[in-house]
With several copies, the nearest count.
Chain A
Amino acid sequence: MASTEVTRTDLEDWMARFGSAVLANRDHLTALDSAIGDADHGGNMARGMNAVAEALGTLDPDAAIGAMFRTVGMTLVSKVGGASGPLYGTFFIRFGGDAADAANLDGASLAEALDAGVQGVVARGKAQAGDKTMVDAMLPAMTAMRAALDDGATVAEATAAAAAGAVEGRDATVPMVARKGRASYLGERSAGHLDPGAASTCLLFEALAESLGSHG
């Protein structure tokens, strides 16, 4: 049975998988954003994750998890723009801030760092549950992950639960009427469409679960 520790290498794998997933889903994310936004979410995320891959490629291999995710976050802030740049940027900056100098994370400290990221997104964007944003995928992901850990789940099980929670949360955005971001301008017409940011958040949690799938 594999390690229970989440290493920097695991987290690099997370970023690589998330990046690939974003590129593979670029057109899909843009199509979602065409329906209730401005048709750029796929392009925004792809530009950002390409820049992240480049930045991580030249990062000091001894950098701690905290420094690594500060780089990820600052890169997204510097390269993406729009709503998703500051939001995902803040997510990773706060994630890194919480992980700080840790060399490895366990299930609990991973959940804590993710929580810090989510709280950063909420603080930055001021969205509440039900506003039809990425937060609606993040919150159920964290709830599911906490519950799994409380039940004694492994890291692999807990992140799989988080991914499943994100998917559920994402799909629950369909009937919602948007109250934040561009989609909110549509009023009732925003109902019936899946939120693009919630969709990219699912890719994030699914990538995490894949990267840690063999962790005890």
Chain B
Amino acid sequence: MKKLINDPDEVVSDALRGMDAAHDDLRVDHDLKIIYRAQPKAAGKVGLVSGGGSGHEPLHGGFVGPGMLDAACAGEVFTSPVPDQMMAATAAVDTGAGVLHIVKNYTGDIMNFEMAAELAGDDVRVETVITNDDVAVTDSLYTAGRRGVGVTVLLEKIAGAAAEEGQDLDAVAAVANKVNDGGRSMGLALTSCVVPSAGSPTFQLEDDEYELGIGIHGEPGRQRLEMAPAAELAERLVAPILEDRSFDNVIAFVNGMGGSPLLELYLMYGEVRRLLDDAGIRVARSLVGNYITSLEMAGCSVTLLEVDDDLLRLWDAPVSTPGLRWGA
């Protein structure tokens, strides 16, 4: 393993030190590994707390700031954070209007957020939205259910805008659920990644293979296939999404897993766009880049989110975070 790190067990704390130093508009609780806005939101507005394992940067800490999250709880690499973090973050960001928890659907994340809610009691009104947009998981009866992946980014932006405009907790939770309901994702990997504390790649792929249907934790996918040109890869990602739900007018999001050059992500976006054009789907907005990653994994995912005027307005609203910023 070669990484820009010191002690593998201290990667997250060391990185948070750098993140704190780099961003004056963030405040980091280093003991609890929570990233907050330096300038808390105005009283009476709903707070947004998310969190998850580290290694997906900029998600979630890079999405803390005006127009998006109020706090992000950072777990160890690929390990969900612990209830203490969510309890502290929830108490800290509540301005009286309640707090939305944004949780990606993984057993560990679900259980730790759940325990946080149980342990917190009734001091703060909490609603939870669980993202589960990954169409690679086809059988939700005999699995832990679909994973939360790319839609989480779009949801944090859109729900953040709803909270910022002063919508109440029920309304913010409703818009969040609407985003999750209207979003679908599918990913592939060309390489595995190396969890620092493990020290070697989580899986091995031959030079002529790729993994289809991966999540964001370096875990193998549903299927190992022979490497193919971008046009075919795009089809492998888009087809199952379109089979799962019909789309009319979308935000189209090509996300890098962390190790693929931006040049290739744009190239994939061109292929995805061609497929959407062929399917008669209008693209209202686009997002291309590394937003929800799996350390240095090479590969990408495609997320489509059906949008109406309301969601588009919230998407276009100003946002000012290290990872996503416009209009401000």
Query: Which A residues fall within an 8 A CB radius of B?
Result: 30, 34-40, 42-44, 47, 77-87, 89, 124-125, 177-182, 184-187, 189
- What's the Cα separation between A80 and B108 when bound, in Å? 10
A50 — nearest CB in chain B belongs to which residue?
B9
Chain B residues with Cβ below 8 Å from A180 are: 107, 143-144
Main secondary structure of the interface of B (DSSP, over half): loop
B76 touches A43 (CB 8 A): yes
- What's the Cα separation between A84 and B136 when bound, in Å? 24
B79 touches A40 (CB 8 A): yes
A sample of 20 inter-chain contacts (CB < 8 A) reads A34-B203, A38-B78, A38-B202, A40-B195, A40-B198, A42-B198, A43-B76, A81-B79, A81-B108, A81-B112, A86-B83, A86-B111, A125-B107, A179-B142, A179-B144, A182-B144, A184-B143, A185-B221, A187-B143, A189-B220
Chain B residues with Cβ below 8 Å from A189 are: 220, 222
B82 touches A34 (CB 8 A): no
Whether B271 sits at the interface, judged by CB under 8 Å, is no
A186 touches B220 (CB 8 A): yes
A185 CB contact (under 8 Å) in B76, B144, B198 = B144
Query: Which B residues fall within an 8 A CB radius of A?
Result: 9, 53, 75-84, 106-108, 111-112, 114-115, 136-137, 139, 142-144, 147, 195, 197-198, 200, 202-203, 213, 215, 217-222
A81 touches B195 (CB 8 A): no
B195 touches A39 (CB 8 A): yes
Across the A-B interface, give the 9 residue pairs with the lowest CB-CB distance, nearest first. Answer: A184-B143, A38-B217, A43-B197, A82-B108, A86-B111, A39-B198, A83-B108, A82-B79, A39-B195
Apart from A39-B195, A82-B112, what are 15 other A-B pairs with CB-CB below 8 Å?
A34-B202, A38-B78, A43-B9, A43-B197, A80-B82, A81-B75, A82-B76, A83-B107, A85-B111, A85-B112, A182-B215, A184-B144, A185-B137, A185-B143, A185-B144
B112 touches A86 (CB 8 A): yes
- What's the Cα separation between A196 and B107 when bound, in Å? 15
Chain A residues with Cβ below 8 Å from B114 are: 86
Chain B residues with Cβ below 8 Å from A185 are: 136-137, 143-144, 147, 213, 215, 219, 221-222
B219 — nearest CB in chain A belongs to which residue?
A38
Chain B residues with Cβ below 8 Å from A78 are: 82-84
